[in-house]
Amino acid sequence: MRTGAARGHVGHFHEAGFYGSDAEFRALIVPFAEEGIAAGEPVIIGYDDRKSGLLRSWLTDPSAVEFIADNSLYATPARAIATYRRLFEFHRAMGAEQIRIAGDVPHPGNGGRFEGWDRYECAVNIVWQDFPVWGLCLYDTATAPAVVVDVVERTHPRIVSPSGDRHRSGRYQHRTQFRSVAVAPDPLEQSAPVIELTGSSAAGVRRVLTQIGRGRVPGTVLSDLLLGTSEAVNNALLHGRPPVSVRIWARPDRIVVHVHDTGPGPADRLAGLVPPADGAADPELGLWLTHQLDIDVALIHGDGGFTVRLRGGTIPS
Amino acid sequence: MPEASFPVTMVSGVPVVTAPEEIDITNAAALRAALLEAAAHGTRTLVVNMSRTQFCDSAGLHVLVRAHQRAQAESGEVRLVIHDAHVHRIFAVTGIDRLIPSFPRLEQALPQTSAVPTSPQVLGSQPH
């Protein structure tokens, strides 16, 4: 049986909290963790070293909590979703009736880039619905930019305050209503691309990209760019509206690729983050595969059509 | 250019599909046809030799997963031979490596061959 505020809830109980001091952080996180430990529920914490250290010092038995020290877990939103799902599957198989997880996603306030994580916070309302998860996402209002706070309020159905008050978020947006944050342009896009291809096959684009990218980015990054670009070109050719164009920018340590068609792009703003249904083929599988790679992927819906932007190498902050 | 069809050969009584250097949407249907042909031999296991393969897109992954599911429905399985590190990584990040067993060498992918030499011709004469 599930315990605490999520008692009786089915699926992911997604809750956010805001704090402005260590004392408020403590008031939010300690009861969450201690109640979970007392109930024998797995408690998983994904915070930076400082906050994890604070929590360890506050807990009666910090060894009962699973601290995630692997920073690569948050390498990309889709990878984090997939990794957590496997973790949840493990705990469910071990008989857990509720899994408590607390953390915050990368944003400038904790040294990360927030781009793409707005869609993640929306997506986990759906993709973790199969599990008895209580996700408590605590954000520091002293360091989290306003855009992060805005997204958190729009992606979490419930809000908890340091005083323990719980209420529904009046600004919550369902998946179908969710407005993602505008994608910041890459400075390279201000200049003319190295090459622009129109009507090329995916294989043809791969040949050109291989020539441009070799020596500029690590081999694994180039391989990921080739795969992601290939998927985007095939999706545009099969499901977009012609003409399909590919533009490539390059500098010594970064490659930027735009795959553009004049159609509206996928209607689902969470495309690529949600694992494809069993047996699904393109375009869901291709977009999802692209989001698993170690490259930066942005889906840009504009008046002139739909663009998949793929970046590899040193990404500007 | 992608190949139009892929050979299916019998190695030690097991059908082995030889995959091309690149598997993508243009040749995924041909790969599917080869896998169906291999499955028609009626053996429980079939092997896809991807030792030459350096690129595999989602269309290729889809075909392989479906072939494995079909084989599993008949209490069999698909086994893969993967050399390329990036191809291996794609199977890992998608979790397909936990669905479909893969091996670095063809001889290891063949069932019950732990004590046999590596030559396919010799393998063909081994009991199993």
Query: Is the separation of the CB atoms in A159 and A16 below 8 Å?
Result: yes
pLDDT of amino acid A283: 66
Q: What whole-number percentage of chain A has pLDDT above 70?
A: 97
Closest CA to A272 of A263, A283, A258: A283
E-strand spans in chain B?
8-11, 14-18, 22-23, 45-50, 55-56, 77-82, 102-103
Which of the pair, B83 or A270, is modelled with greater confidence? B83
Q: Which element (helix H / strand E) includes A207?
A: helix A202-213
Question: Looking at the predicted structure, is the pLDDT value of residue B124 above 50?
Answer: no
Give the nearest partner residue to B59 out of A86, A282, A288, using CB atoms: A282
| Helices and strands in chain A: count of H runs, count of E runs | 8, 12
Give the nearest partner residue to A289 out of B22, B69, B94, using CB atoms: B94
Sheet containing B14-18: order of strands: B8-11, B14-18, B45-50, B77-82, B102-103
Position B115 confidence tier, pLDDT thresholds 50, 70, 90: very low
Closest CA to A206 of A263, A246, A260: A246
pTM of the model: 0.86
Q: Angle at Cα B63 formed by Cα B94 and Cα A296, nearest 5°? A: 35
Question: Looking at the predicted structure, is the pLDDT value of residue A53 above 90?
Answer: yes
pLDDT of amino acid A280: 56
Q: Which of A154-158, A170-174, B118-122 has the lowest mean pLDDT?
A: B118-122
Mean of per-residue pLDDT scores for chain A? 93
pLDDT of amino acid B114: 43
Q: Which of A3-7, A124-128, A277-281 has the lowest mean pLDDT?
A: A277-281
The mean per-residue pLDDT over the stretch A295-316 comes to 94
pLDDT of amino acid B4: 56
Question: Looking at the predicted structure, is the pLDDT value of residue A277 above 90?
Answer: no
Euclidean distance between CA atoms A312 and A135, whole angstroms: 31
Query: Is the separation of the CB atoms in A268 and A276 below 8 Å?
Result: no
How many beta-carbon contacts under 8 Å exist across A and B? 57
pLDDT of amino acid A49: 87
Q: Which element (helix H / strand E) includes B67?
A: helix B58-73
E-strand spans in chain A?
13-19, 43-46, 66-67, 99-103, 133-140, 158-160, 166-168, 195-198, 245-251, 254-261, 296-302, 305-313
pLDDT of amino acid A63: 94
Position A67 confidence tier, pLDDT thresholds 50, 70, 90: very high
* Tokens coding A236: 């545009």
Question: Looking at the predicted structure, is the pLDDT value of residue B73 above 70?
Answer: yes
pLDDT of amino acid B94: 87
Euclidean distance between CA atoms A91 and A57, whole angstroms: 25
- For residue A259, the SS3 value is strand
Q: Which of A104-108, A111-115, B92-96, B115-119 has the lowest mean pLDDT?
A: B115-119
pLDDT of amino acid A282: 57
- Window 222-261 of A, Cβ < 8 Å to B: 223, 226-227, 230-231, 234, 238
The mean per-residue pLDDT over the stretch B106-110 comes to 94
pLDDT of amino acid A278: 65
pLDDT of amino acid A83: 86
Closest CA to A116 of A276, A259, A298: A298
Euclidean distance between CA atoms B90 and A288, whole angstroms: 12
What is the helix, strand, coil percentage profile of chain B, to 5? Answer: 40, 20, 40
Our CA-based measurement puts residue B71 at a distance from the nearest CA of chain A, in whole angstroms, of 14
Which residues on chain B place their C-beta less than 8 Å from a C-beta of chain A?
1-2, 22, 24-26, 55, 57-59, 61-62, 66, 69, 86, 89-90, 93-95
Residue A94 CB contacts under 8 Å (≥ 6 apart), including other chains: A42
Q: For B47-67, how does the pLDDT look when each residue is reduced to its tens digit (9 = 90+)? A: 999 999 999 999 999 999 999
- Find chain B residues with C-beta within 8 A of A223's C-beta: 86
Q: For A234-253, how does the pLDDT look when each residue is reduced to its tens digit (9 = 90+)? A: 999 999 999 999 999 999 99
* Tokens coding B43: 């053996």
Q: For A17-31, how does the pLDDT look when each residue is reduced to its tens digit (9 = 90+)? A: 999 999 999 999 999
ipTM: 0.83
pLDDT of amino acid B3: 45
